[in-house]
Amino acid sequence: MIKALYIIGVILLIAWGIGFFAYSASAIIHLLLVLAVISFLVRIFSGSSD
């Protein structure tokens, strides 16, 4: 489960980066960034119990 959150976080971060540089910065792009950061924080605080 934790590995899946990490992968989702990476995908969302990449999608945010592409959206930020390719299109105008809108609310949905920043929402993707927030979701990616939350996924990374969950990964950090839950520890690496893989």
pLDDT tens column, 1-49? 678 888 888 888 888 777 776 666 566 777 778 888 888 888 888 875 5
- Residue 22 has a pLDDT of 66
Burial of 38 (0-12, 13-18, 19+ CB in 10 A): middle
Number of domains within the chain: 1
Is residue 49 included in any domain, yes or no?
no
Contacts of 42 (CB under 8 A, 6+ apart): 2, 5
Residue at 18 is within a domain: yes
User: Exposure of 1 by Cβ count < 10 A (0-12 exposed, 13-18 middle, 19+ buried)?
Assistant: exposed
Q: Establish if 17 belongs to a structural domain.
A: yes
Q: How confident is the model at residue 33, as a pLDDT?
A: 82
Whether the Cβ atoms of residue 5 and residue 42 lie closer than 8 Å to each other? yes
Q: Residue 33 belongs to what domain range? A: 2-44
Q: For residue 27, is it within any domain?
A: yes
> Per the domain annotation, does 39 fall within a domain?
yes
